[in-house]
């Protein structure tokens, strides 16, 4: 997700929702301070593992599977460093976003107790900072591990990108043991099914594009999301109840961000045209059976699937179709600057 906060149309959008560019800069400033405090707490070896050049390919090397990662994992932090990393995470997320992130991390404990494999480890969530935090250049940070990838990009004291943003859960609903009933992404699942239930007759036939759900989100962990042609039913063709439910579901995804960023993101979605947003479904409508949905607008794509592990394993993602990782905004900035440094960095994106 992205907040174009100080660029032309972005200023008009910000004004329209009643908060200022100064408030937006405060968010970036908070991220900068918290990232600096976190980096200052690291010893030389830890910092070398955590701080990576902004222009390096690693910044775009995101994924949501359990794998080896660059950056520093929670398991290598001191208690004080953990708290500073927590504060950095909180600088970009809402209460709901933090709650869901911590819930996703906790689910690794459930998997460990079920499987006993070392790869299931709640301390294998990594923090990576891309270049020294600054208010006069480009830098970014990532919080990532199994089923969680949060990517923030900043330029000249502004948050210009908050995507790709991935959240997943396994199990989607804990069905046994002492954690029975734990469900982290309930809204994403339940509201999607509620929206589908509002379609019937030919409209239902239009919204369900395939009787079988794809095995996973179609964009995977690509660096550039290829959304394809819109599928399903357009917002302009929906009833009032369908529109209201779609907007409620859309706000669940934007609402993972702290409120200022979420409102800016939603304003951009509105400015690009609500009527062009499409909702589409694949698979079964019955609880406990494989299903998938997507919400596709001119500037964004949401994908959600629950197909693996007997349809008890959720993947969900927000992709910015105009530039994950701030790609297009950075290119515009470097092209406008005509600087040697800017040209060099843009060439490495």
Q: Give a yes or no: residue 174 inside a domain.
A: yes
Question: With 90 as the cut, is the pLDDT of residue 22 above it?
Answer: no
Minimum mean pLDDT range among 166-170, 284-288, 338-342: 338-342
- How far apart CA 290 and CA 207 sit, in angstroms, is 16
Read off the pLDDT of residues 28-79 as tens digits, 9 standing for 90 and up.
999 999 999 999 999 999 999 999 999 999 999 999 999 999 999 999 999 9
DSSP class of residue 76 equals G
Question: With 90 as the cut, is the pLDDT of residue 162 above it?
Answer: yes
Tokens of residue 20, six digits: 């200022």
Q: Give a yes or no: residue 4 inside a domain.
A: no
Question: With 90 as the cut, is the pLDDT of residue 15 above it?
Answer: no
Q: Give a yes or no: residue 337 inside a domain.
A: yes
Question: With 60 as the cut, is the pLDDT of residue 346 above it?
Answer: no
Read off the pLDDT of residues 115-141 as tens digits, 9 standing for 90 and up.
999 999 999 999 999 999 999 999 999
Q: What is the pLDDT of residue 332?
A: 65
Domains held by the chain: number: 1
Q: What is the pLDDT of residue 63?
A: 98
- What range defines the domain where residue 71 resides? 9-347
Residue closest to 104 by CA, chosen among 23, 199, 172, 202: 172
* Range 299-322 average pLDDT: 97
Q: Give a yes or no: residue 2 inside a domain.
A: no
- How far apart CA 100 and CA 149 sit, in angstroms, is 12
Mean pLDDT over all residues of the chain? 90
Q: What is the pLDDT of residue 21?
A: 56
Q: Give a yes or no: residue 316 inside a domain.
A: yes
- Does the model's pTM come out above 0.75? yes
Residue closest to 117 by CA, chosen among 82, 146, 150: 146
Does 237 sit behind a cis peptide bond, omega within 30 degrees of 0 on the bond before it? no
pLDDT tier at 176, thresholds 50, 70, 90: confident
Q: Give a yes or no: residue 1 inside a domain.
A: no
């Amino acid at each position: 997700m992205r907040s174009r906060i100080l660029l032309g149309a972005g200023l008009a959008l910000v004004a329209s929702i009643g908060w200022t560019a100064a408030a937006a800069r405060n968010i970036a400033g908070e991220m900068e301070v918290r990232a600096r405090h976190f980096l200052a707490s690291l010893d030389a070896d830890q910092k070398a593992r955590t701080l990576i050049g902004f222009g390096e390919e690693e910044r775009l090397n995101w994924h949501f599977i359990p794998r080896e990662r660059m950056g520093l994992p929670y398991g290598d932090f001191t208690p004080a460093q953990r708290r500073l990393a927590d504060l950095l995470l909180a600088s970009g997320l809402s209460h709901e976003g933090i709650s869901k992130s911590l819930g996703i991390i906790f689910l690794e404990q459930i998997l460990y107790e079920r499987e006993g494999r070392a790869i299931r480890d709640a301390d294998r969530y990594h923090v990576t900072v891309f270049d020294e935090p600054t208010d006069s250049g480009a830098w970014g940070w990532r919080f990532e591990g199994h089923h969680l990838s949060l990517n923030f990009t900043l330029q000249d004291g502004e948050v210009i990108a908050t995507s790709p943003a991935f959240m997943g859960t396994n199990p989607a609903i804990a069905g046994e043991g002492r954690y029975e009933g734990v469900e982290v992404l309930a809204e994403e699942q339940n509201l999607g099914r509620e929206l589908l239930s509002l379609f019937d007759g030919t409209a239902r036939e239009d919204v369900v594009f395939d009787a079988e759900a794809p095995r996973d989100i179609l964009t995977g962990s690509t660096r550039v999301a290829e959304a394809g042609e819109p599928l399903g039913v357009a917002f302009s063709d929906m009833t009032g109840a369908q529109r209201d439910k779609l907007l409620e579901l859309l706000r669940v995804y934007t609402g993972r961000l702290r409120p200022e960023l979420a409102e800016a993101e939603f304003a951009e979605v509105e400015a690009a045209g609500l009527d062009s947003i499409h909702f589409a479904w694949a698979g079964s409508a019955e609880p406990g059976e494989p299903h998938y949905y997507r919400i596709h607008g001119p500037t964004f794509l949401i994908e959600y699937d629950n197909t693996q592990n007997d349809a008890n394993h959720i993947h969900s993602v927000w992709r910015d179709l105009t530039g994950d990782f701030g790609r297009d905004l950075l290119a515009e900035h470097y092209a406008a600057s005509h600087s040697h440094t800017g040209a060099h960095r843009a060439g490495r994106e």
